[in-house]
Chain A
Amino acid sequence: MQFFGGSEISPSPPAPAASGNNAHMLYIFNRNGVCLLYREWNRPLKTLSSQQDHKLMFGLLFSLKSLTAKMDPTSVEKGNLGVPQLPGQGCSFHSFRTNTYKLSFMETPSGIKIILVTHPRTSDLRDSLKYIYNLYVEYVVKNPLYSPGTPIRYELFNKAVDQYVRGLG
């Protein structure tokens, strides 16, 4: 009998061979755009206050989602540009890359958005994001003291995330 439910955390996906910390930041937003968690490991450049930074990030994700939903070349019915999409509705995206970083994105059915910013040459991180989601479920959702929609302040969760991300290539 375990204290917080019975499910095992699935084994982490194999981390790419290269060691060292390639990750820059991690964001977790809920469906209303509240930043539940922001972790930063390596961010030399900061131009905005953290609040503005989070807003901008959420806005970027929102707009990119409506862009991809509208641009989707495989579906006939695309709706109008800018109309909010429900989680899982319409064509979304899972990552983008610039010359300086790569952003991997995952949205859960409940509208939780997990964003991991890493080195531009990082490989596909979809499984890693799922694993982080798994950690979130285990350490946050199952915590009776946590009230949904508030920022996450749990040492255990942070430690687990840090440790996992550090292992990523």
Chain B
Amino acid sequence: MAAIYSLYIINKSGGLIFYKDYGSAGRMDTNDSLRLASLWHSMHAISQQLSPVSGCSGIELLQADTFDLHCFQSLTGTKFFVVCEPGTLHMESLLKHIYELYTDYVLKNPFYEMEMPIRCELFDINLAQAVQKDRVALLGR
């Protein structure tokens, strides 16, 4: 059973630039994932407006009945979020690590156009390793 269900990366204007599924039930087509991404983008912004105190930077963890959603937003507004089993640990550090991979293998790639969908072989390879490692760490728990 996969601990991580899926990973999304959204650019600063709410467009989905990366989506990877690691074994969710039910099919989600491209359209659905795009709409979910932009919906999340606006929910994230609204949650900042509703904060009772200043300095709110949006939802970091959403706990649903069947999954947890961990979200990390970089200072430049790119959002990374994973959907995982409820109570999965160390997701913050995984997201930070994915961010690091993004800065290395996506942003340093001369053939990547900013804010556009990510199609970088090296990013895929290293991401797969990172997620795999995370699973191994979970099995060892």
A: residues with CB less than 8 A from B are: 24-25, 42-45, 47-48, 53, 56-57, 59-60, 63-64, 66-68, 70-78, 81-82, 91-101, 103, 117
A83–B74 Cα gap in the complex (Å)?
31
What residue in chain A is nearest B55 (Cβ atoms)?
A100
A56–B49 Cα gap in the complex (Å)?
9
A40–B23 Cα gap in the complex (Å)?
42
What residue in chain A is nearest B31 (Cβ atoms)?
A81
Cβ contacts under 8 Å, B39 to chain A? 63, 66-67, 81
Asked whether A101 and B63 contact (CB < 8 A) given A59-B46, A71-B36, A71-B83, the answer is: no
**Interface size grouping (class) on chain B:** 35 or more
Stretch at the interface among B64-72, B94-102, B130-138: B64-72
Contact of A98 among B24, B25, B26, B48 (CB under 8 A): B48
Q: Shortest distance in angstroms between A81's beta carbon and chain B's nearest beta carbon?
A: 5
A-B contact pairs, 10 of them (CB 8 A): A45-B52, A56-B46, A56-B49, A60-B47, A63-B39, A63-B43, A66-B39, A74-B67, A93-B62, A100-B57
What residue in chain B is nearest A65 (Cβ atoms)?
B64
Cβ contacts under 8 Å, A43 to chain B? 52-53
What residue in chain A is nearest B22 (Cβ atoms)?
A73
Q: Across the interface, do A96 and B61 meet the contact criterion of CB distance under 8 Å?
A: yes
Asked whether A92 and B63 contact (CB < 8 A) given A45-B52, A70-B32, the answer is: no
A70–B3 Cα gap in the complex (Å)?
19
Asked whether A99 and B60 contact (CB < 8 A) given A73-B5, A81-B36, the answer is: yes
What residue in chain B is nearest A24 (Cβ atoms)?
B52
A76–B46 Cα gap in the complex (Å)?
29
Q: Across the interface, do B59 and A98 meet the contact criterion of CB distance under 8 Å?
A: yes
B119 at the A interface (CB under 8 A) = no
B40 at the A interface (CB under 8 A) = yes
Q: Shortest distance in angstroms between A51's beta carbon and chain B's nearest beta carbon?
A: 14
B58 at the A interface (CB under 8 A) = yes
Asked whether A72 and B42 contact (CB < 8 A) given A96-B47, A100-B51, A100-B56, the answer is: no
